[in-house]
């Protein structure tokens, strides 16, 4: 009993949570997900262990509950822990005059937490350099030297511009970021995945306007948890900055803003950019939270994960590494968002033909889990059919794993299909789905120089799908910039697997808009 009294005396803190009692009512999907996120945060703060004190009010009063309430509470905690691949390691129960109180210790059965962060921002604002410095711990030379850790195509290195999505991994062990000696070394990447307690995967997108479609694919096609918007202090906010912020907000992602290149300007200019950012964020219903001390990182992470409207803003310099300790602390304290329930589903982002292995498809797992050796369906092909194939092996950042689940970026080696038969935007599933050509969506037009009418043919970006669609029917004669409407669309060339609730971006030239699928037609 002394143990529980000491816990109550010290109050709730990083990995200690007080719960009076829980019922089956808390297993409703929305409440279950909220409890799962809360539990995961407590486990993370407790370096792998969370302690739940039961029969205690939030204020620390020993209320006491009945035996049946205690058992029901433990049962709910067990189901919540299963959502995040954790387990109850021990339970202690103490009797009071008015009931019982107790302690439940919860630990991760899968030690690694994996969050995905998508970077965005205008060209030459330092996205790749920022990530390169984060994962290597090395300062930049002022000319983007560390961006070579992400820009791995020959013409990217020569031009200093990213032309495709890049992936990088930042590992944490016992709460401290582990720096890589050579981030391009596959073996070292694999070692980071094996030994870390937490992994932050960066999906480094493209800032150059001609490759906006690649940026959209990176942000929509992966199961990203948080967005990291980069703004250079010398340039300030550009049109692409606003465009990328709009995409992040359309995806309902929590956003962090990093002001880069602060070593190139004076304090007055940094203050001007901070004011620009505040004005931009307030215009879209967000609240800026300027962080200048590492001690504020925990509060910032908590506000960011719980309230999408708060946007932490951090001043950084890749030359002096100013602000990098704050950004690392925020990233470490951010919990995984939205544990998905459902059958296994992965949209294919990249295809490889690997010597000695065969066909490899990669992407981010949207829902469910997959194990090596399982049979899955892949497609749809042009005729709407799906093929059954076997998953021979699974890799995550060059590290071989036996099981992967939602949010993991993986490569699946599959047997039974040739790489040249496949295309980006196809899916890998355990249950055979149905292909779709036509669907109805609610759309909102961001910008368009004239009027959108029936027969309009933009390119739609949905998950990893990038395909021309035809506006076949509309609930009004035309749509213009700022309008909302319901549109029946049809994929022009190939069918895809899509479903209600998915959000997408459509664009054609400088015209852009977003939408949400409301109905599909098999």
State yes or no: pLDDT of 338 exceeds 80.
no
Determine the distance from the C-alpha atom of residue 436 to the mean position of all C-alpha atoms in its chain, rounded to a whole number: 26
Determine the distance from the C-alpha atom of residue 158 to the mean position of all C-alpha atoms in its chain, rounded to a whole number: 30
Listed in order, strand segments (DSSP E) in 296-408 are 310-315, 345-347, 350-354, 358-367, 369-371, 375-379, 387-396, 399-401, 403-405
> How far apart, in whole angstroms, are the C-alpha atoms of residue 360 and residue 343?
21
As a whole number, mean pLDDT of residues 293-299 equals 91
How confident is the model at residue 256, as a pLDDT?
A: 96
Max Cα distance, the chain (Å):
75
User: 456-484 burial by CB neighbour count: b if 16+ within 10 A, else e?
Assistant: bebbbbbbbbbbebbbeebeeeebebeee
How confident is the model at residue 431, as a pLDDT?
A: 94
Phi, psi of 175 (to 5 degrees): 85, 0
What's the mean per-residue pLDDT of the chain? Answer: 84
How is residue 212 written in tokens?
A: 């906006």
State yes or no: pLDDT of 230 exceeds 60.
yes
What angle is formed at CA 367 by the lines to CA 361 and CA 370, rounded to 5 degrees?
55
> How far apart, in whole angstroms, are the C-alpha atoms of residue 332 and residue 172?
7
DSSP state of 496: B
Close Cβ partners of 13 (under 8 Å, ≥ 6 residues apart): none
Grade residue 89 by pLDDT with cuts at 50, 70 and 90: confident
> How far apart, in whole angstroms, are the C-alpha atoms of residue 179 and residue 192?
9
How many Cα atoms within 13 Å fall on the side-chain side of residue 191? 11
As a whole number, mean pLDDT of residues 269-290 equals 95
Fold equal for 113-333 and 438-521:
no
Phi, psi of 30 (to 5 degrees): -65, -45
Q: Is 379 in a helix, a strand, or coil?
A: strand
Q: Which residue has the tokens 């919990």?
A: 335
As a whole number, mean pLDDT of residues 19-33 equals 87
Better pLDDT: 61 or 439: 439
pLDDT in tens, 232-242: 999 999 988 98
How confident is the model at residue 240, as a pLDDT?
A: 85
How confident is the model at residue 193, as a pLDDT?
A: 66
> How far apart, in whole angstroms, are the C-alpha atoms of residue 238 and residue 50?
44
Share of the chain above pLDDT 70, in %: 86
Grade residue 112 by pLDDT with cuts at 50, 70 and 90: low
- Tell if the pTM clears 0.85, that is, is over it: no
- By DSSP bridging, strand 375-379 and strand 511-521 are unpaired
pLDDT in tens, 38-78: 888 887 777 567 899 998 887 778 888 999 999 999 999 99
- Spatial contact of 427 and 365, defined as CB atoms under 8 Å apart: no
Q: Is 389 in a helix, a strand, or coil?
A: strand
- Spatial contact of 369 and 344, defined as CB atoms under 8 Å apart: yes
Q: Domain 113-333's class?
A: alpha beta
Grade residue 355 by pLDDT with cuts at 50, 70 and 90: confident
Grade residue 187 by pLDDT with cuts at 50, 70 and 90: low
pLDDT in tens, 504-522: 989 887 668 889 999 999 7
Q: Kindly state the helix (H) or strand (E) to which residue 101 belongs, with its residue range.
A: strand 99-108
Phi, psi of 450 (to 5 degrees): -130, -125
pLDDT in tens, 467-493: 999 999 999 999 998 899 999 999 999
How many Cα atoms within 13 Å fall on the side-chain side of residue 322? 14
Q: Which of 107-116, 150-159, 302-311, 397-406 has the highest mean pLDDT?
A: 302-311
**CA dihedral over 159, 161, 163, 165, signed as positive or negative:** positive
Better pLDDT: 81 or 155: 81
The number of beta carbons lying within 10 Å of the beta carbon of residue 302 is 15
Closest CA to 471 of 462, 484, 459, 483: 459
How confident is the model at residue 336, as a pLDDT?
A: 81
SS (H, E, C) 233-280: CCCCCCHHHHHHHHHHHHCCCCEEEEEECHHHCCHHHHHHHHHHHHHH
Grade residue 189 by pLDDT with cuts at 50, 70 and 90: low
> How far apart, in whole angstroms, are the C-alpha atoms of residue 352 and residue 339?
29
> How far apart, in whole angstroms, are the C-alpha atoms of residue 429 and residue 304?
32
pLDDT in tens, 138-151: 898 766 555 544 44
> How far apart, in whole angstroms, are the C-alpha atoms of residue 210 and residue 212?
6
How confident is the model at residue 222, as a pLDDT?
A: 59
Return the CATH fold of 438-521: Elongation Factor Tu (Ef-tu); domain 3 (2.40.30)
Grade residue 305 by pLDDT with cuts at 50, 70 and 90: confident
How confident is the model at residue 389, as a pLDDT?
A: 96
State yes or no: pLDDT of 264 exceeds 80.
yes
The number of beta carbons lying within 10 Å of the beta carbon of residue 74 is 18
Grade residue 339 by pLDDT with cuts at 50, 70 and 90: low
- Residue 330, CA distances (Å) to 145, 298, 490 in order: 25, 6, 43
As a whole number, mean pLDDT of residues 133-142 equals 84
Long-range pairs of 299-308 with CB within 8 A, sequence gap ≥ 24: 300/330, 301/329, 301/330, 301/333, 301/334, 302/41, 302/333, 304/226, 304/254, 304/256, 304/330, 304/334, 305/37, 305/41, 305/254, 305/334, 305/335, 305/337, 308/252, 308/253, 308/254
User: What is the CATH code of the structural domain delimited by 345-429?
Assistant: 2.40.30.10
DSSP state of 436: B
What angle is formed at CA 78 by the lines to CA 77 and CA 82, rounded to 5 degrees?
115
> How far apart, in whole angstroms, are the C-alpha atoms of residue 223 and residue 117?
9
User: 11-42 burial by CB neighbour count: b if 16+ within 10 A, else e?
Assistant: ebeebbbbbbbbeeebeeeeebbebbbbbbbb
> How far apart, in whole angstroms, are the C-alpha atoms of residue 378 and residue 433?
9
> How far apart, in whole angstroms, are the C-alpha atoms of residue 491 and residue 487?
13
How confident is the model at residue 263, as a pLDDT?
A: 95
Domain spans, the chain:
2-108, 113-333, 345-429, 438-521
The number of beta carbons lying within 10 Å of the beta carbon of residue 260 is 26
How confident is the model at residue 109, as a pLDDT?
A: 53
């Amino acid at each position: 009993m002394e143990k529980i009294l000491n816990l109550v005396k010290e109050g709730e803190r990083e990995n200690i949570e007080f719960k009076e009692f829980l019922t089956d009512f808390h297993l409703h999907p929305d409440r279950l997900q909220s409890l799962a996120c809360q539990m995961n945060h407590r486990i993370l703060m407790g370096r792998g262990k969370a302690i739940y004190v039961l029969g205690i009010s939030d204020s620390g009063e020993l209320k006491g509950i009945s035996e049946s309430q205690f058992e029901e509470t433990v049962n709910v905690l067990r189901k919540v822990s299963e959502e995040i691949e954790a387990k109850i390691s021990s339970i202690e129960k103490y009797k009071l005059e008015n009931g019982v109180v107790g302690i439940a210790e919860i630990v991760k059965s899968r030690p690694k937490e994996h969050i995905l962060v998508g970077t965005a921002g205008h060209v030459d604002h330092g996205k790749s350099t920022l990530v390169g410095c984060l994962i290597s711990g090395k300062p930049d030379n002022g000319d983007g030297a560390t961006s070579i850790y992400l820009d791995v195509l020959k013409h990217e290195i020569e031009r200093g511009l990213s032309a495709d999505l890049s992936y990088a991994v930042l590992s944490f062990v016992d709460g401290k970021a582990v720096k890589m000696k050579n981030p391009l070394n596959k073996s070292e990447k694999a070692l980071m995945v094996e030994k870390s307690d937490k992994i932050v995967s960066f999906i480094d997108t493209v800032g150059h306007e001609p490759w906006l479609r690649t940026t959209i694919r990176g942000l929509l096609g992966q199961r990203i948890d948080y967005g990291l918007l980069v703004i250079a202090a010398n340039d300030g906010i550009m049109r692409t900055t606003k465009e990328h912020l709009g995409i992040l907000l359309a995806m309902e992602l929590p956003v962090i803003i990093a002001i880069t290149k602060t070593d190139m300007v004076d304090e007055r200019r940094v203050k001007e950019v901070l004011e620009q950012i505040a004005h931009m964020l307030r215009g879209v219903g967000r609240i800026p939270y300027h962080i200048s001390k590492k001690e504020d990182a925990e509060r910032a992470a908590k506000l960011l994960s719980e309230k999408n409207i708060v946007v932490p803003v951090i001043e950084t310099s890749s030359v002096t590494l100013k602000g990098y300790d704050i950004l690392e602390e925020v990233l470490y304290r951010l919990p995984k968002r939205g544990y998905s329930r459902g059958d296994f589903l992965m949209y294919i982002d990249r295809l490889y033909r690997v010597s000695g292995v065969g066909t490899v498809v990669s992407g981010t797992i949207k829902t469910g889990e997959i194990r090596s050796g399982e049979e899955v369906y892949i497609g749809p092909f042009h005729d709407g059919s799906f093929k059954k194939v076997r998953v021979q092996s699974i890799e995550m950042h060059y590290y071989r794993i036996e099981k992967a689940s939602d949010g993991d970026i993986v490569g699946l080696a599959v047997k039974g299909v040739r790489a040249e038969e496949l295309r980006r935007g196809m899916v890998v599933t355990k249950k055979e789905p149905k292909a779709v050509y036509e669907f109805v969506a609610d759309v909102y037009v961001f910008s368009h120089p004239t009027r959108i009418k029936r027969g309009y043919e933009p390119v739609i970006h949905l998950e990893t799908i990038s395909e021309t669609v035809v506006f076949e029917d509309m609930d009004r004669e035309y749509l213009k910039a700022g309008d909302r409407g319901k549109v029946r669309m049809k994929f022009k060339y190939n069918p895809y697997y899509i479903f209600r609730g998915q959000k997408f971006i459509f664009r054609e030239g400088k015209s852009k808009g977003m939408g949400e699928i409301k109905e599909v037609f098999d």
